[in-house]
Amino acid sequence: MTLSSAAPPPSVLFLCVHNAGRSQMGAAFLTHLAGDRVEVRSAGSAPADAVDPAVVAAMAEVGIDVSAETPKVLTAEAVRSSDVVITMGGGDACPVFPGKRYLDWQLDDPAGQGVDAVRPVREEIERRMRGLPAELGIAS
């Protein structure tokens, strides 16, 4: 039996309060860009019942399907098992653990405002996401 010495892929946790918009878009873009070279999760401190339909529609416009995603509750374990935690505006309550990298991306919350309000937020998340794989040390 041969043991692999390869390091596990980096893990990134995206947070927004309801886990129904910004964090879902961030997770979807990073998964789209990096595939299995990164472990991606998203959560919220007060998760909604479903991903915002305007977010589903806006992501479909760029060829990414988030219709099967469901909002998840933030747990300390999710933070503990992530290398990078990205809060996406809204002052989400996030536990802080030593050795984790925390990024705070101030993004408007387009909740309940329709696709026209989601598009600029989606574009800003996509712009920021373009550089993230390189920051994580993975090729996109």
Distance CA(90)–CA(16), nearest Å, equals 7
H/E segment holding residue 85: strand 84-87
pLDDT digits (tens, 9 = 90+) for 33-80: 998 899 999 999 899 999 999 999 999 999 999 999 999 999 999 999
Nearest Cα neighbor of 18 from 58, 70, 62, 77 is 70
Would the pTM count as exceeding 0.85? yes
pLDDT at 92 over 60: no
Burial-class residue 72 by CB neighbours within 10 Å (0-12, 13-18, 19+): middle
Distance (Å, rounded) from C-alpha 8 to C-alpha 83?
11
pLDDT at 122: 97
At 96 the pLDDT is 79
Tell me the per-residue pLDDT of 94-119, one tens digit each, with 9 for 90 and over: 777 888 898 989 999 888 899 999 99
> In what order do the strands lie in the sheet containing 101-104?
39-43, 11-15, 84-87, 101-104
